Structure 1
Amino acid sequence: MTTPGSDQQLFEVPTPPTPPEQLLLLAAAFTRHNDALVALNFEVPLPGAAIGGHHVSSAQRLARGTLAAINAVKNQPLYHHVETGDTLVRLNQLAYLATESADHLIDASDILSTAARKAAGLGDEHAHPSVISAASRRVRLAGELTALAPRHRSRPPPTSPQRCAAAAALFQQLVRTSLCRPPSTPRCRPPPAGTSA
Structure 2
Amino acid sequence: MKKLRDYEIGIAKLSNRKHKYEFQLDDAFFEEFGKDIILGGNMKADVELDKTESLLTFHFDIKGQVRLTCDRSLEEFDHPLDVQATFRIKYGDENAELADDLWQITPNTQAINIAQHLYDYIGLALPMKKLHPRFVEEEADEEEDDRDILIYSSRDDSDTDEDEDDEDDTDPRWDALRNLN
Q: TM-score range by the shorter chain?
A: under 0.3
* Greater per-residue helix proportion: 1
TM-score (norm 1): 0.23
Structure exhibiting the larger radius of gyration computed from Cα positions: 2
* Greater per-residue strand proportion: 2
